[in-house]
Structure 1
Amino acid sequence: MSWDSARAFIRQAGAARPLRSVSVPIDRADSRTLAAAVHALVDLPSVDVSAMDGWAVAGDGPWQLDGTVTMGAPPAHRLLAGRARVVTTGAAVPPGTVGVLRAEHGGLLPDDPEWLRPIAPAPLAGRDIRRRGEELRRGEPLIRPGARMTPPRLALAAAAGHDALDVLAVPRVELIVTGDELVGAGRPAPGAVRDAFGPSLPALFERLGAAASTRRIRDRLDPFTELLAETHADVLVTTGGTAGGHGDLLRRAIVAEGGTIDFAGVAMRPGHPVLFARTSAGVPVLGLPGNPLAAFACLLSFFPPWLDGASGRPLAPLDRVHAHDVTATGRQRRITPFTWQGARAVVSPWAGSAMLRGLADADGLLVSPVADGEPALLLPLPW
């Protein structure tokens, strides 16, 4: 399958099993995806309020002072013509107010501090008053479903009267790390390999908006098959065992469990042995190659599209970059770590399937174009 087709396929697979909705307090909703539209529960402002510090005035000046507007209180008794009342920014102006005279535009009469005179042109009708519902009206839709919450959107929802929001549940990822050659700590002995996925991939899933639990299993068919049958995750991600060789058990375990392999192999380098399948219960399985750069390239290529689909979003478009060091590779996409040097994208020399050094300092991954003259695609890194 082509790299582009695989991304579209996995996005559709995510859409077929949408994430459930949960309600969370508004102060815990940052970066979460809305499950339902946010509507205004109140008018904003809820009453006519002053946009400046100064005096609410009625009629022509000079004006006799008539007290002070209490901040946070509902509109006070009516302001009569020829009267003024001290007001601060955001306070409700009393009925009868013509406009607000800014503090720097007025002053008290030296011989009678109960009277206010303008030292600039008197305010026009409605000057420096924010009218009720000027920003939003009760019942008005504010934030669409599928939007990712940000601090400004949280602020808007809170101002609109919300204490909690309906968001999509954080997807549960079960990460299965395989390989008898892997050791979990210390310096590996000759012939052994330090597990690089256990410490890194859960953190990557968290950055992508998912929560991962990790299990390590031996290269044995029965425990692999049992794990596929018992998982309750939203998606299961495995590392290693995808190439179909003698020691690669993932395909055999999926078939033994009663699952379905949707594709095994994508026209990409590194990462061509990547696999996508479903268990007998329909849980999606993303099988990553065992080589580190290949695994990261596949995860960053295919997990975000699954998450887009499960969250009800379209496939996120990728930026296009003109990179001098990236040539067209036809149907088989080449994925390479790169760094920015000024405005130029420069590919890393550490781009082998088993290498991590180039990715560790990369600004992103470049995806080679299909035809000459086309730009490369930029696969973003969530760090």
Structure 2
Amino acid sequence: MSTQPPSAPVAEPPPAGWEEARSRVYAVGLAAALPSTPRPLAEADGHTLAEPLTTRTDLPAFPTSSVDGWAVRGEQPWRVVGRVLAGSTPAPLTSDGTTVEIATGAMVPEGTTAIVRIEHSARDPEGLVTGVPRPRPEWRLPGEEARAGEELVASGTPVDPALIGLAASCGQDTLQVRRPPRAALLVFGDELLTSGPPADGRVRDSLGPSVPSWLRRYGCQVRAADVVGPVADTLPAHVAALRSALGTADLVCTTGGTMHGPVDHLHPALEALGADHVVNTVAVRPGFPMLLARVTSDDGRVRFVAGLPGNPQSAVVALVSLVAPLLAGLQGRQLPVLPQVTLAEPVPGRGDYTHLALVRLDRATGTAYPVRHVGSAMLRGLAGADGFAVIPPGTSGSVGDRVRVVPLPLLPGERTW
């Protein structure tokens, strides 16, 4: 019979501070940033610049007319000696008192002293042109917008249609970019219904339909086939589902099972896969039992698992706290600077925990109003909110306080904040 005393349970490490967790996951994402590749302009939308965008020539590359009119030399009246259309190289104006008709965007002939708008000109029966030029020149000078080789857009910038158009105007045919991360979602919980109203002790799954849309707003690719669940509440089912999802995804999000209850199998499943925890619980309310783990395959490929709590609002807190900074790092983007707002009403603190309080923003005044129905299992408040006000540990928010806010992710191109 053994005389050894029973071993004491291993103490869980304290939760990471919210600021620390956010910085930590961004750093590991950046260290595992997706590889860059050249993409044709028409295929680059939604990617992220892996190199700065520079221009191959001056912009404009040559003097171009801003209006339809007459490129003139010397004093009026002017004798018409030709026409210049966009896309052609004109002969120089060599004699005073001469002019050529010129189209918007056409190259301005050498020797031009002014451009007269067509609506400000007249032509007499002998064909001579008269008119009064505006005081400011009506053409664009070479390099007015940019000089050859100038950096116009920094690496890490999301590629959108405006950037694609700028790249084309710079003479670029391809962009060196990082592709959008591929994400998958595993929904855990035998108690969940996937259709119809809640009944008989079972609740409707609200995260399976919504989390993929949040992930897409953070720049991820999520296919319908990448959303799996509910996954059976057994350890083998969890391990199999995670292994399958990690085969193609850069990030696998899971819902529920982040604690150590009788059917919470996420931690032992991660252990079976050889994962290491980047963050295991965060000192934030709501959303405390969130986690981020890293899985490295034999070939060195790094993938991530984000454990979102099962309560819906807590899951969204985990998305904005851990998933958003991780995805910024994976795409080589900057960690977003959180904007500030003025509280219109008091917001309580949560003791030693950061409080992420749902607020709606009055954009005209830059003030934030707390919303109602904000329990961790509720979604009504979230549906009317613009983001989360950040109330640091040991503090509370008073009327008039300036506080940071974590915006809810928007559609690409929306820049409300």
TM-score by length of 2: 0.84
Secondary structure class of the residue paired with 2:324: helix
Task: Please tell me whether residue 225 in structure 1 is matched to residue 248 in structure 2.
Answer: no
What is the number of equivalent residue pairs in this alignment? Answer: 378
Task: Please tell me whether residue 53 in structure 1 is matched to residue 68 in structure 2.
Answer: yes
1:170 to 180, 189, 195: 180
Within a 5 Å distance, the mapping from 1:255-294 to structure 2 comes to: 255-281=271-297, 282-294=302-314
1:238 corresponds in structure 2 to 254
Superposed displacement of residue 14, structure 1: 0.3
Structure 1 residues 317 and 70, CA, compared in 2 at 3 Å: closer, same or farther?
A: closer
| Deviation sequence 1:92-143 (CA, Å, 0-9, x none) | 122322221233443223x42x21233x3x678x932323333233333222
Please tell me the residue identity of whatever aligns with 2:379: L
**8 Å CA contact retained: 1:271, 1:289:** yes
Work out the CA distance in 2 between the residues paired with 1:145 and 1:264: 31
Work out the CA distance in 1 between the residues paired with 2:257 and 2:322: 18
Secondary structure class of the residue paired with 1:283: strand
Q: Which runs of 4+ in 1 moved over 4 A?
A: 341-344
Task: Please tell me whether residue 140 in structure 1 is matched to residue 150 in structure 2.
Answer: yes
Superposed displacement of residue 227, structure 1: 3.6
1:362 corresponds in structure 2 to 385
1:315 corresponds in structure 2 to 335
Superposed displacement of residue 357, structure 1: 1.0
1:86 to 93, 101, 104: 101
Superposed displacement of residue 310, structure 1: 1.6
Work out the CA distance in 1 between the residues paired with 2:94 and 2:234: 84
| Deviation sequence 1:55-83 (CA, Å, 0-9, x none) | 11122222211122123212235443221
**8 Å CA contact retained: 2:193, 2:203:** yes
1:198 to 200, 204, 208: 208
| Deviation sequence 1:313-370 (CA, Å, 0-9, x none) | 3321212233232133343012222224674422222111111111111122222233
| Deviation sequence 1:127-175 (CA, Å, 0-9, x none) | 3232333323333322221112344322221211223322211101121
Superposed displacement of residue 5, structure 1: 0.8
1:43 corresponds in structure 2 to 58
Work out the CA distance in 1 between the residues paired with 2:239 and 2:391: 37
Work out the CA distance in 1 between the residues paired with 2:110 and 2:96: 11
Worse-matched range after superposition: 239-248 or 128-137? 128-137
| Deviation sequence 1:277-329 (CA, Å, 0-9, x none) | 12253422110110111101111221111112222233212122332321333
- Segments of structure 1 that go 5 or more residues without pairing to the other structure are none
Structure 1 residues 369 and 123, CA, compared in 2 at 3 Å: closer, same or farther?
A: closer
**8 Å CA contact retained: 2:45, 2:160:** yes
Structure 1 residues 144 and 262, CA, compared in 2 at 3 Å: closer, same or farther?
A: closer
Worse-matched range after superposition: 21-30 or 262-271? 21-30
2:191 to 173, 176, 181: 181
Work out the CA distance in 1 between the residues paired with 2:210 and 2:197: 17
Superposed displacement of residue 226, structure 1: 3.1
Structure 1 residues 312 and 71, CA, compared in 2 at 3 Å: closer, same or farther?
A: closer
Work out the CA distance in 2 between the residues paired with 1:262 and 1:46: 50
Please tell me the residue identity of whatever aligns with 1:336: A
Work out the CA distance in 1 between the residues paired with 2:106 and 2:214: 47
Within a 5 Å distance, the mapping from 1:332-351 to structure 2 comes to: 332-340=353-361, 343=365, 344-351=367-374
Secondary structure class of the residue paired with 1:44: coil
Please tell me the residue identity of whatever aligns with 2:158: R
Identity %: 38
Work out the CA distance in 2 between the residues paired with 1:261 and 1:30: 33
1:306 corresponds in structure 2 to 326
Superposed displacement of residue 252, structure 1: 0.9
**8 Å CA contact retained: 1:228, 1:279:** no
Superposed displacement of residue 198, structure 1: 1.4
Please tell me the residue identity of whatever aligns with 1:163: D
Structure 1 residues 70 and 79, CA, compared in 2 at 3 Å: closer, same or farther?
A: farther
Work out the CA distance in 1 between the residues paired with 2:196 and 2:145: 59
Task: Please tell me whether residue 376 in structure 1 is matched to residue 403 in structure 2.
Answer: yes
Please tell me the residue identity of whatever aligns with 1:301: S
Work out the CA distance in 2 between the residues paired with 1:41 and 1:47: 13
Work out the CA distance in 2 between the residues paired with 1:322 and 1:49: 48
Task: Please tell me whether residue 115 in structure 1 is matched to residue 122 in structure 2.
Answer: no
Worse-matched range after superposition: 293-302 or 71-80? 71-80
Worse-matched range after superposition: 268-277 or 72-81? 72-81
Worse-matched range after superposition: 175-184 or 62-71? 62-71
